[in-house]
Structures are given as C-alpha cells and as structure tokens.
Structure 1
Amino acid sequence: MKNPTLHIIVNPQAGSGNAKKTLDITRAFITKEEVPYHLYLTEYPGHEKIIAKELMETVLEPWHDDKVLKTLLVVIGGDGTLHEVINTLASQPLIPVAYLPAGSGNDFARGLGLTRKTKKDLARLIKVTKPTPIPLIATQFEQKDAPQLVLNNIGIGLDANIVSTANNSKTKDFLNKIHLGSLAYLASIFHVLKEQHAFPVTFDTLGEKKHFKKAYLCSITNHPYFGGGVAIDPTANIKQAKMSVVLLEKVNLAVLIYLVIRLLMKNHLSSKYIHHFVTDQLAVTSTHPEFCQTDGEIVGKEAQVIQCTMTSRLFWI
C-alpha cells in the first residue's frame, strides 16, 4: 500500500535540542524509503497550534475504514508539543496523529510502549495500516472556558509546584542551551520540598466522596509514568480507559525519603501515607490555591474544581 504523505510538525527546541537529531534521522529514513513529506518547524511557543489548525482545515482528513489515508500528521517533539497539537485537533478525534518522541520526558511514549528509538519507531510507523484509538483524560477546569485533553497526567501540589519553579528558574534557559535542562527540575525539587504545604482535596467518583485533609501531591494519571519515567502508578494501563488517582499525604522528610525509595522500587502504593484508586469519572475539588499542571504545563495557582472523564482519539501507532 502506498504511504500517505507525511505532514511533520517539529519543535526543534524540545528535549534540549534532541528533536533536531530526531528530525535528521527521520528525514534520512523517509527519504531512503521514498515517503513523501512536508516539514513545518515551530518558531515560537504556541506555533504548533497555528500549524496544526491550518493543516486540519486544509489537508488532514478523518480516518474511514473504506478509504485510503492520503495524509498523516506526524509530531516530533516532547509531550508538551503533542499536548498542544491534540488539543488543537480536539474537534476532529478521527484525524490520526503519529508521534516520534523527542522531548526530555517522553512519558506518553513510555505509556504506549513505544521504543523511543527513532529508526525503530519509524520502521513501525510506515508499516501501520490503520490507526488505534488511545484513551485520554478529558478535563474541564471550572476557571477555563474550553475543555482540555490530557495525555499523561494532571498534578496538583508538589509536582506542579516543581514544574512552575523550574519553568521560572533564571538558569533554565542557560541549562537548556548546554543540554542540561533537566538539572533545573532537580534543583527545583530541593527548593519546593521545603515550601510545599499540605492542602485539602475532595474526590467525587460517581457519588462516592473521598476527602483528604493533608494532601501533598495528587496525580491523576492516564498510564504509569510521570516526571520522565517515574512509575507513579505501576498498575496503570493506558489501554484500559481508566484514570488512576495517586495521593501522597504530607509527611516528615525522613518518611518522604523512604517513600521516594519505595517509589523507585515500584512498591509505594501499599504505604499508609499513599492513597490509590481507579475510576473512569472524577470530580476534584481543592479549596486552597495550589499549583496545577497538565502534561507538564502549568494551568495556574488557584482553588481547583476539575471534572474528569475518559475519552479517546486515533493515533497512528
């Protein structure tokens, strides 16, 4: 079967420049395989949304079982770039999206079981004959007009605070230029551990309410991973169309270090300080202003009221 024409959106800044290497490998591979393509490089934050919207309105088509796919959108970048693209295409979930991970975390690729090795992922991509529906979390924030699709997770508290602190770090741009951007997040962890306080949060799952007075970190996740490969819920499976909630209570530093060790060993869920449940519908209420992030992007610092359900869209994997 003839390969569709690839329309490739690339964020060259992703992964502290790793996306450029991924692009070079991709161009060499598809040129050798004689796969037609068009290339679109993002030039500033948010540019990927403008490109994706224009492509959606001009050349991209929804998948139909009885038609040959003529065009395929490919995203090269990190989870943040992919997050923006799929939200731009939210009204067209039947337009397939292919993904070549090139960020610093690549948690969505881990959750999908992609190799994260560009040549192997490209060899798989050109052999795909039909798209696969992949579950995502659909969220509606009370403070936001538009709903939002989430690839990986929603974080309230500690992890969102770390993301915000790192993103606003004066040294982050410098570290990114020398390909050590992850150090900004490492430095932020030690700073935030001291200042993050406990906060109240309530979960409502189809009428059953769970209230916690001393939440420290709350992660609502679509698959096992967050933070660049940390298995916050080793039992989660992206194909099950369920969201996992993992909540850590505020503890002293010694207990926190012990829990981090258990987290790295993937046996932390049995701790009395960690609460875990699975659902396909969820309402989250946090009355105290807290940082909140989705797929590594800060939503804001405010009291949070969030409605979460499961949905899906087509990916070419």
Structure 2
Amino acid sequence: MENPLTKKWFVILNPHAGSGRGKKDQAEILKRLTKADFQYELAVSEFPKHIIQLTIDAIEKGYRNLIVAGGDGSLNEAVNGIFSQTFCLPEEITVGMIPVGTGNDWIKTFGIPNYYSEAVKILNQGEIMRQDIGRITFSENDLTKNCYFANMAGFGFDAMVATKTNQLKSKGRNGISLYLQALGSSLFNYRTTKTQVVIDGQKIDELIFSVSIGIGKYNGGGMMQAPGAIPDNGLFQVTIIRKIGLLGILRNLSGLYSGKYVNDYRVSTFQAKNISISSAHNIAGEADGETLGDNKFEIDIFSQKLAVIYNPQKYLKEK
C-alpha cells in the first residue's frame, strides 16, 4: 500500500531567513499555500543546521516532496539532509523553493520569482528538472566530512566575503547592500595566497585570489560568478581569479554582476567534474554561503541527482 505522505508536502520554514522575514511573513506564506490547495505539514527551524535534521525526519516519516521557505542557506541545509539520509535514494525527493532569504541566488538561475504569490504559482505548476549536486570532502577534527551544495561553492576571497556576510546578518543587517559591505571590508583584509588547484587533472599552482565552483550562475546577492554554468550538464563551471589587486577588483565590479569580468586576463574558466584545492596554510571555503573553515578540499559532482521545481520560461535567463 502506497504511503499517503509521498503525495503530501513537507514545508520547512526558516524564521530567521531574510533577517527575520521568515517569521514576519509566515502567516502570509502559509495562507498562499493553503489557497493554492497544497496539503502540507509545517516544520519551523529553530537553530543553525536544524533544517538538516528536519529534512531527514520528514523523509524517514515518508515525505518525498519538500518545500523550503527560506534562503540559499536553508536550501543548502535541506540538500545536505537529503544526501546524508539513508531511507531512500536522493532522486526520489522533489524540492520546491519559496524565497525568503537576503540573496536568493539559487532562484535566479532556475527562474523562480522573488515574490511569494508568484513562487507558489510555480510550485503549483509543478514543472520538474533534475539538477546536479556538488560534494565537498574535507577534514574536521581529524575526521573526513562531506557537505553538499546546490548552487555555488567558493574558496579564498569568496569564502571571506561569505563569512563577513554571515556576521553582518547575525547582527540584524539585511538587504543586498550587506554583500557590498562584506565585499568592501574583505578587499582590505584579504591576502592572495599561493594555491594549488587541480581541475580534472590539470594543475594550477600560483597566487590565487579566489576559486568559484558553480552549478548555478549567481552568488553574493546577484553576482554572476559562473556565467557559463548549466545546472544539469554534469559539469561545474570553475572560475579562477589570479592575483588581481584592489584596482583590478574595482574595475571589474560591474562585470561581477554581468558576468563579463571573466574576460579579464587574470580570470580563467573551466568546465570540470573534479577539483582539488590546497595551499601551504590551507584555504577558506564556503558552500551556498555557508562557511566551511580553512582546509584542503576535494570537490566532485553528482549529475542530475536532485529533482527541483523550476520555471522553464525563465530558466537560465539573465536577470
């Protein structure tokens, strides 16, 4: 007999997303889901990483359809729950998104509107595609750990910006301007490090400013760091910025939002399945804006492993 929960939705709402918008707008979000005839159970996350366990618990109970009402970090936690649970194959899970976060970068690639009413309409249409998922392997307290990401991972400067952004969010700051504040602050504190990056066996060993590894195109509140990324082609877009200096970054600032910064001679892009990153003093990492600390990292891709609800009319269209 089929479990009836496989056709019911499990909604995970992050009340802290968007610097408290999740809590403030909870009633409106649920009203729109109810009006659209969604049958659902609600869970509200209470602390960092709680969504990972809520996702695992929901899958164990029999749910196979999840809606995440939150930001990129909330989606990242749900993805980590899906790929760390052992009750079913990750391919059996479908994920939809109601954007509540500050940056909301994943939705930009997948054509999800940044309005509750329109996002629920897309959920109701139920168009599904299977996107790639990245896995990052690193060590923590002498233990090997895996984490997964659905949008973009960054190393070096990108990770410093993510850390400073999260610090600003924890102080109650919100809005896209906080990404620019974190970017500006990081520029004056970051030191380019000699880093070894191995991309599908091709070795780069020089002064590296940052490495971005994209499944989706955007991060940092709309910066198009991986303009050539295609989420279901089984390949990351890897963007490496070599030593560039403050003036070089300022000259390329508008290009970060249009994707044209990749034309700078200090920037190289690759399509790849496997990447390793290391340096003498280790290097900072982040995945979907979540800080991973200083480490050596191995990154590989799982092709078309997660079913997501998307908007085919706006998919891969530039914002």
Superposition TM-score tier, normalisation by shorter sequence: 0.7 to 0.9
The structure 2 residue matched to 1:228, chosen from 213, 221, 231, is 221
1:265 and 1:43, CA in 2 relative to 1: closer, same or farther beyond 3 A?
closer
- CA-based RMSD of the aligned residues comes to 2.3
Residue of structure 1 in register with 2:172 after alignment: 175
Residues 195 and 205 in structure 2, CA contact (< 8 A), matched pair in contact too = yes
Letter in 2 for 1:164: T
Residue of structure 1 in register with 2:39 after alignment: 36
Residues 26 and 118 in structure 1, CA contact (< 8 A), matched pair in contact too = yes
Residue of structure 2 in register with 1:301 after alignment: 294
Letter in 1 for 2:161: I
Letter in 2 for 1:141: F
Residue of structure 1 in register with 2:96 after alignment: 98
Residue of structure 1 in register with 2:154 after alignment: 155
1:205 aligns with 2:199: yes
TM-score by length of 1: 0.85
Residue of structure 2 in register with 1:141 after alignment: 138
1:166 and 1:36, CA in 2 relative to 1: closer, same or farther beyond 3 A?
closer
Instruction: State the shift of 1:244 in Å.
Output: 0.9
Residues 12 and 51 in structure 2, CA contact (< 8 A), matched pair in contact too = yes
Structure 2: which 5+ runs fail to align?
Answer: 1-5, 311-319
Residues 197 and 250 in structure 1, CA contact (< 8 A), matched pair in contact too = no
Give 3-state SS (helix, strand or coil) of 1:215's partner.
strand
Greater mean deviation of Cα atoms: 20-29 or 231-240: 20-29
1:196 aligns with 2:194: no
CA separation in 2, counterparts of 1:105 and 1:133? 23
CA separation in 2, counterparts of 1:43 and 1:28? 21
Q: Deviations over 1:16-64 (max 9, x none)?
A: 2232465333322232233322211112222222222211111314xxx
Letter in 2 for 1:256: I
Q: From the CA coordinates, give the structure whose radius of gyration is larger.
A: 1
Residues 134 and 149 in structure 2, CA contact (< 8 A), matched pair in contact too = yes
CA separation in 1, counterparts of 2:99 and 2:24? 11
CA separation in 2, counterparts of 1:104 and 1:226? 11
Identity of aligned residues (%): 23
Superposition pairs of residues 13-162 of structure 1, within 5 angstroms:
13-20=16-23, 23-61=26-64, 72-90=65-83, 91=85, 92-93=89-90, 94-128=92-126, 131-143=128-140, 145-162=144-161
Structure 1: which 5+ runs fail to align?
Answer: 62-71
Letter in 1 for 2:298: I
Q: Deviations over 1:276-308 (max 9, x none)?
A: 111122233333332211111111123x13232
1:224 and 1:193, CA in 2 relative to 1: closer, same or farther beyond 3 A?
same
Q: Deviations over 1:92-119 (max 9, x none)?
A: 3122122112111111111212122221
CA separation in 2, counterparts of 1:163 and 1:30? 32
Residues 19 and 76 in structure 1, CA contact (< 8 A), matched pair in contact too = yes
Give 3-state SS (helix, strand or coil) of 1:145's partner.
strand
Residue of structure 2 in register with 1:64 after alignment: none
TM-score by length of 2: 0.84
1:285 and 1:310, CA in 2 relative to 1: closer, same or farther beyond 3 A?
farther
Letter in 1 for 2:189: E
1:300 and 1:21, CA in 2 relative to 1: closer, same or farther beyond 3 A?
same
